[in-house]
Each structure stands twice: as structure tokens, then as C-alpha cells.
Amino acid sequence: MAGHLFEVDNLNIEFRRSDDKVYAVNGVSFSIGEGGTLGIVGESGSGKSVTMMSCIGLIRSNGTVKAGTAKFEGHDLLKMNRKQLEHIRGLEIGVIFQDPMTSLNPLMRIGDQIMEGMIEHHYATPRDAFDRTINLLGEMGIPEPKTRFRNYPHEFSGGMRQRIMIAMALACEPKLLIADEPTTALDVTVQMQILALLKEQQEKKNMSIAMITHDFGVATNFCDKIVVLYAGQVMEVAETKEFIRRPAHPYTIGLKNSIIEVGQRDRALKPIPGMAPTLTSPPTSCSFADRCPLVTDRCRNELPVLRQVDGNHMVACHRAEEVLNHAV
């Protein structure tokens, strides 16, 4: 595929703790095409947020990017200084967080907060920014935008606050939107409304989206490509259709089987035993080995690298071919 908008290569991130280190991201690579939607899925602690946020300069002070590149339109974000990053963030790359309350200023009218970014980034004059804010609020499905402009965050429901966050993130028409679990805290009906809104905006603007989610239902229905993270490593990447039809990593398969879907009253439960590890040394074997039903000695001794099994389908498992050929 020609011209990836966003391309992460061999990203490694460590965090210092009082008496050890956490290897939170270990050689993660993926790309997002123009207008594409990448789903970044994995359980909590798998490195989804750290991966994306560190690319745009949002990393806690005890964390360090040890290696890797994160190219946005060909320029490595990891080599930029704070000022350059602040410029790109908000203007070229919009961000939505899971909890809108942490990123909305409780003491500022929501309209002013939406306008602020446009003015700071010289995207619009104050007058134009005001008009655009009113328009945006309307587009986001917020009734009576002119009145609501003057309200404070606490005067909105959770769903409405998330719409305001989206308005802020989209204000300067970014090329890439990073959405970190934007619907996890919301009811299913509100989740549906928010996802429909995002899709509509994406199609209008040909924007790319990195959708961080732990929900396979959201990932498979909203995204055209999916990357599965586990212990800070990419376990599998595939286009959504392939991902649904032929998952090849035992972890992906285990996770899919863990989801109880509607209409499964009579099914048996086969949970993945144990829990995900926090790595305090770099991985030298398969991080899933302790929980994997297909584990062999090789898995415990040799790190499976991410490799192509078919077309754009990549898997980091020694036994991926056997899985795909139904040999196991």
C-alpha cells in the first residue's frame, strides 16, 4: 500500500519503578493508511495507550522510548521537540480519551474550550472559530448549540461530554484521530451513537483513525485492520475480514472464545487460564506460553517474531501455520 499516513516501527518503551523496570512496549510495529481505521486491541496493561500516546509525546516522566520510529507523513514524531509536537497535536492529530472529565476543564465553558485549540493553532480567527464551534456542536448532535456553548462540562451527560471531546478533537480537521477507548465507559446505545458519529465524520473528511479498544465487537465492526497487543508485543495483525475468518494466534483465538455473545446460553466456558504478565525483563520467549494450549519447548526458549503468514496477515507464533492449516 502506497503512502502510509502513520507508521510505527520497532517501538520499545520502558518504565522505571522503585526497584525494577517494566518493559511495557517491546518492538511494536504497525501502520495506518490514509482514511484507514486501525483497531488496537488487547487486554488492560497490554500497552495500547502507552504505544499510541508516547508517539505524540504524552508519556509519564518515569517512561522512556528506548528505540523505534513513529513516522507521521514521513516525519519521525519521536525526534521532534516539545514545541513541534504540540503543534502537530491538535492540529494534525486529534486525540479522544476514555474519560472526557480528565481532559475537559471543569471551570471553562465548553464552547470556549473547543474554540481555544483552533485559535492557538492559528487554524481560525476567533470569529470563525466561534462559528465553527456552533456548527461542530450541531454536527455532534448536541441540541441548541448556541445555548449549550455557554454550559460547563458538569452540565452534560457522559455521552454528551464525549461528543464535546470529539468536537474538540475534530475542530482543526486532523488527518489522524487517536481514540483511546472512547466508548468503554458508555452504555451500548450511546456507544452506538458515538461510533456512528465518528464514522460519519471520518467519511466526510477522509480522516484516519487509530481506535484503541478492548472490545472485539467494536474493533471488528468499526475498523478495517486490527492489531492485537499482548505484553507490549504485536501478536497478530490482519485486515478485519481475514481477522474474523482466519485468526492465527492462539491468544487471539482464546480471546475471541472468551467473549460471550448473544445467543450462546448453552455454550461451555473455556476461559484462558491465568493472567497477562507484566514484563520486568525483555521478552526472550513467547510471552503467552504460560497460558497457551499449544505451547511447546520451542515457545519457552525462542521468541516468536512477527512474520507474514499470508498477504497482509502477520503473526508472532511459532505454530501459526499449523493453526491456519487446522493441523492443531
Partner 1 sequence: MPSEHLLQVENVSKRFRVRGKTLHAVENVSFNLDSGKTLGLVGESGSGKSTLGRVALRLLDADGGRVLFQGHDIGRIPKKQLRELRRDMQVIFQDPQASLNPRMTVGAAIEDAYVIHKIGTKSDRQQRVEDLLQRVGLPPSAANAYPHELSGGQLQRVGIARALTLDPKLIVCDEVISALDVSIQMQVIQLLKELQKERNLGYIFISHNLAVVEYISDEIAVLYLGEVVEHAAAEDLFKKPSHPYTQVLLQSILKVPDPQSETTQALMHIKGEIPSPFSPPPGCTFHPRCPFAQDICRTKKPEPRDIGHGHVVSCHFAE
Ligand X SMILES: Nc1ncnc2c1ncn2[C@@H]1O[C@H](COP(=O)(O)OP(=O)(O)O)[C@@H](O)[C@H]1O
Cβ neighbours for 7, distance < 8 A, ≥ 6 positions apart: 30, 31, 32, 69, 70, 71
Q: Is the distance from CB of 12 to CB of 66 less than 8 angstroms?
A: yes
CA pseudo-torsion sign 102, 105, 110, 113: negative
Strand partners, 200: none
Distance from CA of residue 131 to its chain's centroid?
31
| Binding flag, residue 46, ligand X (CB under 6 A) | yes
Question: Which of 242, 249, 245 is closest to 294 using CA atoms?
Answer: 249
Residue type, 300: R
Residue 162 binding target from Mg ion, ligand X, partner 1, none, CB below 5 to 8 Å by type:
none
- Judged by CB under 6 A, the residue of 211, 237, 248, 317 near ligand SF4 is 317
Task: State the nearest-atom distance from the C-beta of 229 to Mg ion, in Å.
Answer: 10
- Judged by CB under 6 A, the residue of 55, 198, 238, 292 near ligand SF4 is 292
Residue type, 188: V
Residue 88, helix vs strand vs coil = helix
Residue 304 binding target from ligand X, ligand SF4, partner 1, none, CB below 5 to 8 Å by type:
ligand SF4
Question: Which of 300, 298, 278 is closest to 289 using CA atoms?
Answer: 300
Give 168 or 238: the residue with its C-beta nearer to ligand SF4.
Answer: 238
- The dihedral over CA atoms of 163, 166, 172, 175, expressed in degrees to the nearest 10, equals -140
- The residue written with cell numbers 484503541 in the block is 212
Kindly state the DSSP code that residue 304 receives in the 8-state scheme. P
CB atoms within 10 A of CB 326: 6
Could you say which residues in the range 194-253 bind partner 1, by CB under 8 A?
Answer: 195-196, 199, 214-218, 220-222, 240-241, 244-245
What are 227's three cell numbers? Answer: 492489531
Give 179 or 248: the residue with its C-beta nearer to ligand SF4.
Answer: 248
Residue 62 binding target from partner 1, ligand SF4, ligand X, none, CB below 5 to 8 Å by type:
ligand X
Characterize 234-258 residue by residue with b for buried, 16 or more Cβ atoms within 10 angstroms of its Cβ, and e for exposed: bbbbbebebbeeebbbbbbbbbeee
Could you say which residues in the range 257-286 bind ligand SF4, by CB under 6 A?
Answer: 286
Residue 15 binding target from partner 1, ligand X, ligand SF4, none, CB below 5 to 8 Å by type:
ligand X
Residue 228, helix vs strand vs coil = strand
| Binding flag, residue 48, ligand X (CB under 6 A) | yes
Give 130 or 216: the residue with its C-beta nearer to ligand SF4.
Answer: 216
Task: State the nearest-atom distance from the C-beta of 112 to ligand SF4, in Å.
Answer: 50
| Binding flag, residue 50, ligand X (CB under 6 A) | yes
| Binding flag, residue 62, ligand X (CB under 6 A) | yes
Lay out the site mask for ligand X across 9-38 (x = CB under 6 A, - = otherwise). Answer: ------x-x----x-x--------------
Binding site for partner 1 (CB under 8 A): 43-44, 157-160, 187-193, 195-196, 199, 214-218, 220-222, 240-241, 244-245, 254-256, 258-265, 267, 269-273, 275-276
Interface positions with ligand SF4 (CB under 6 A):
250-251, 286, 288-289, 292, 294-295, 299, 304, 317-319
**Interacting residue ranges for ligand X, rule: CB under 6 A:** 15, 17, 22, 24, 42, 44-50, 60, 62-63, 278
